[in-house]
Chain A
Amino acid sequence: MDNLPVKNTRKFKTEEHYNNSSSYHLLPFRFHRITSLKEVLVNEIGDFLLVPIGTAKAIITKSFTRNENEELYGDLIANFFISETPIPELLDVLAVRYRTRKSFLDYFTSLHIFVITLRCEHTCHYCQVSRVNKDIDAFNMQKHHINAGIDLMMKSPNPDITMEFQGGEALLAFDKIIYAVERTKVEAQKYNKNISYVICTNLAPLTDDILHYCKSNNILISTSLDGPDYIHNQNRHRPQKNSYELAIDGIRKCRETLGEENVSALLTTTALSLKYPFEIVDEYYSQGFRNIFLRPISPYGFATHNDKKNKYETSTFLDFYKTALGRIIEYNLQGQFYREDYASIILKKVLTPFPVGYVDLQSPAGMINNVIVFNYDGKVYATDESRMLAEMNDYTFLLGTVEDSYEDIFYGAKALELSEYWLNETLPGCSECAFQGYCGSDPVFNYATQGSLVGFRPTSAFCQKNMEIIRYLFELMDSDKRIEKVFKSWIVGRT
């Protein structure tokens, strides 16, 4: 028996094999300090480890040994931070995981925004869009432009398409919406597309006929609610000063007819809103919403004309965000499900292997790849914000007109030029950032705020906001396991 050769198996290796692993090879990962005690390591596929400060240094300088901390060593191997072979045996798994992270690119453009009219009966000081209240057809999308837009939409390789109607106030041109939906229904059958319809509206012009049409065509309603009446009515001017009342009444009617799940609301945070984080969170809850999207004002269009009301430091917004987030977490800790959407988008990227279809936090950027805008005048823009710049006579992100060919718009010279700037993997300040995989690239924001498509991270509001929110989410998860549980419930959508 003693002479029998030692049989090597794949499953069981000798004890020496495991003890002799003081030399290892690094795999791509990045790190960032979370608190004075902890840092986070994030690998190429977005998996993370929260470790004591100094761990990254020990790992990278190879002064870390397996004997020093067997559990961490095991975590580092299992989570693809280090490898015992120069090329990891599970390289294919890493590649598939990477591919999954970028799977939002698989089907190309999904969201097609039709700016169906520029007319609006509100005069909001922060409006990101030029608006006209003249009751003339010149500011509505013309039928031949609608037709051409639908033709382009049908050429998208994506089988699942969202057709979103925006304004101005989209409901002021409801006849155009009906025309567009009816035509799309026919075309979608021809091209085998699943279409989700969304109307963005302040709900003021809502009628029973509109509601019934939405009901029979499964059209979702996305509206605006800026908080209690004293905030909403201040932000959203109407001559009758009743924007809040109309929005609340409209939300109720939409829920009754369309069902709760088919009505959503968006918050715009103005300088006034920053004083009322608790009140805004409580208002959404008391109006029956179980989610809220705490988003700062966009630096475009009319929003830039009123500095006093609309410009605020990013740090002030972050204070507001953290206070409001704390309030939302309180609701959850008391047993109520109530989700903050921006955090949920980031948390899904942090805690799952999957990407999120949110165009402002993607790399490659959401522009063109995931969203395209057909303006009321037939011009095609890379993003919603791009057409807002165009209303300020800046046509940097104009891709063409709806009458141009699909190839010229989506793969043309302008799209190619913009593609130089839409990867955060290649941007200065982002290329070695630990949060790269959780964040995104937004050339339109860079251009609008800093005059450069590349942007300048040290003063970028986009960078400052996202770095701090992502860091803060890690800090919260690390500080209290109950909060981590709440965050996980936001991803799966239940308590």
Chain B
Amino acid sequence: MGLSMLELLQLLKRRKVNYKIVDSTIELLVDESIYSVDVLHKCFYWYSSGYDITILRSDIADGCLQVQISPKNKSNEFEADCLISRIKQDLIDYKLRDIVTKETQSIRELIIAKAFAYYNLDTNPATDVSDPVGFNPNHDHVNG
């Protein structure tokens, strides 16, 4: 089922995502320094309705993750080129989303914490607010 070491090394030299089709299963080999396990899970979640997905650490290539994708309904043939092309685009999209999520995590927490902390409804000022320019139509003002 797996890739031979020679095949793997040749593929790794060329691309960040490599694949091989064995029977009706696509085996992807992904460089973990490029696509983390989080990214793979978020990406292949969307494929799990039509495909059985297995994500595991590669035992033949250090620093690589292996993704096995096989159609749930074996009689369903899939267009490998089309599917691989879609997967590659999705991997990039989920990698980009992951960058934003991780880089902005603390800002997001700050926004939400500030939004809900020490919030009082309808806090009226304890004293009258002056209105020298006369913005408030209900206030009597000097030039009115």
Q: Chain A interface (Cβ within 8 Å of chain B)? A: 25-31, 44, 56-57, 60-61, 87-88, 91-92, 94-96, 98-99, 102, 106, 428-429, 432, 456-459
Q: Which of B42, B47, B96, B110 contacts A60 (CB 8 A)?
A: B96
Assembled-state Cα–Cα distance A29/B104 (Å): 9
Other than the given A92-B114, A457-B45, A458-B46, 10 more pairs (CB < 8 A) read: A25-B103, A26-B103, A28-B101, A28-B104, A31-B93, A31-B96, A44-B111, A60-B99, A61-B96, A91-B114
Residues from chain A with a CB closer than 8 A to the CB of B115 are 95-96, 98-99, 102
Q: Which of A28, A92, A429, A457 contacts B100 (CB 8 A)?
A: A28
Q: What distance in Å separates the Cβ of A462 from its nearest Cβ neighbour in chain B?
A: 14
Assembled-state Cα–Cα distance A286/B46 (Å): 44
A88 lies within 8 A of B107 (CB): yes
Residues from chain B with a CB closer than 8 A to the CB of A432 are 42, 94, 97, 101
B107 lies within 8 A of A27 (CB): yes
A to B CB contacts below 8 Å, 6 in the list = A26-B103, A28-B107, A31-B97, A44-B111, A91-B107, A432-B42
Assembled-state Cα–Cα distance A98/B94 (Å): 25
Contact with A along B58-72 (1 / 0, CB 8 A): 000000000000000
Q: What distance in Å separates the Cβ of A132 from its nearest Cβ neighbour in chain B?
A: 39
Interface of B is mostly: helix
Residues from chain B with a CB closer than 8 A to the CB of A30 are 97, 100
Q: Chain B interface (Cβ within 8 Å of chain A)? A: 42, 45-49, 92-94, 96-97, 99-101, 103-104, 107-108, 110-112, 114-116, 119, 121
Interface of A is mostly: mixed
Q: What distance in Å separates the Cβ of B20 from its nearest Cβ neighbour in chain A?
A: 25
Residues from chain B with a CB closer than 8 A to the CB of A25 are 103
B45 lies within 8 A of A91 (CB): no
Residues from chain B with a CB closer than 8 A to the CB of A87 are 107, 110
Given known A26-B100, A99-B119, contact A57–B92 (CB-CB < 8 A): yes
Residues from chain B with a CB closer than 8 A to the CB of A99 are 115-116, 119
Residues from chain A with a CB closer than 8 A to the CB of B112 are 95, 98
Assembled-state Cα–Cα distance A468/B107 (Å): 30
Q: Which of A27, A95, A428, A456 contacts B114 (CB 8 A)?
A: A95
Closest residue of B by beta carbon distance from A157: B121
Assembled-state Cα–Cα distance A456/B50 (Å): 13
B104 lies within 8 A of A429 (CB): no
B111 lies within 8 A of A458 (CB): no
- Which residue of B93, B99, B100 has the most chain A CB atoms within 10 A of its CB atom? B100
Q: What distance in Å separates the Cβ of A225 from its nearest Cβ neighbour in chain B?
A: 36
Q: What distance in Å separates the Cβ of A449 from its nearest Cβ neighbour in chain B?
A: 14
Q: What distance in Å separates the Cβ of A465 from its nearest Cβ neighbour in chain B?
A: 16
Q: What distance in Å separates the Cβ of A428 from its nearest Cβ neighbour in chain B?
A: 6
Closest residue of B by beta carbon distance from A100: B115
Q: Which 6 A-B pairs have the closest CB atoms?
A: A95-B114, A458-B49, A99-B115, A98-B115, A28-B104, A95-B115
Closest residue of B by beta carbon distance from A95: B114
- Which residue of B45, B111, B119 has the most chain A CB atoms within 10 A of its CB atom? B111
Assembled-state Cα–Cα distance A25/B108 (Å): 13
- Which residue of A26, A31, A87, A456 has the most chain B CB atoms within 10 A of its CB atom? A26
Given known A57-B92, A428-B45, A458-B46, contact A91–B111 (CB-CB < 8 A): yes
- Which residue of B45, B48, B112, B121 has the most chain A CB atoms within 10 A of its CB atom? B112
Assembled-state Cα–Cα distance A480/B93 (Å): 28
Residues from chain A with a CB closer than 8 A to the CB of B119 are 99
Assembled-state Cα–Cα distance A91/B107 (Å): 9
B97 lies within 8 A of A106 (CB): no
Residues from chain B with a CB closer than 8 A to the CB of A428 are 45
Residues from chain A with a CB closer than 8 A to the CB of B111 are 28, 44, 91, 94-95, 98
Assembled-state Cα–Cα distance A428/B42 (Å): 8
Closest residue of A by beta carbon distance from B97: A432
B96 lies within 8 A of A91 (CB): no
Given known A26-B104, A88-B107, A432-B97, contact A458–B45 (CB-CB < 8 A): yes
Assembled-state Cα–Cα distance A56/B94 (Å): 12
Given known A57-B96, A92-B114, A432-B101, contact A459–B45 (CB-CB < 8 A): no
Q: What distance in Å separates the Cβ of B140 from its nearest Cβ neighbour in chain A?
A: 30
Closest residue of A by beta carbon distance from B96: A60
Q: What distance in Å separates the Cβ of A313 from its nearest Cβ neighbour in chain B?
A: 14
Closest residue of A by beta carbon distance from B106: A87
Given known A106-B121, A428-B45, A459-B49, contact A28–B92 (CB-CB < 8 A): no
Assembled-state Cα–Cα distance A217/B103 (Å): 56
A28 lies within 8 A of B49 (CB): no
Residues from chain A with a CB closer than 8 A to the CB of B116 are 99
Given known A27-B107, A91-B114, A95-B111, contact A456–B96 (CB-CB < 8 A): no
Residues from chain A with a CB closer than 8 A to the CB of B99 are 26, 60-61
Q: What distance in Å separates the Cβ of B46 from its nearest Cβ neighbour in chain A?
A: 5
Residues from chain B with a CB closer than 8 A to the CB of A96 are 115
A60 lies within 8 A of B100 (CB): yes
Closest residue of B by beta carbon distance from A429: B45
Residues from chain B with a CB closer than 8 A to the CB of A61 are 96, 99
Residues from chain A with a CB closer than 8 A to the CB of B104 are 26-29
Closest residue of A by beta carbon distance from B112: A98
Q: Which of B46, B93, B110 contacts A91 (CB 8 A)?
A: B110
Residues from chain A with a CB closer than 8 A to the CB of B103 are 25-26
Residues from chain B with a CB closer than 8 A to the CB of A44 are 108, 111
Q: What distance in Å separates the Cβ of B124 from its nearest Cβ neighbour in chain A?
A: 16
Residues from chain A with a CB closer than 8 A to the CB of B42 are 432
A429 lies within 8 A of B46 (CB): yes
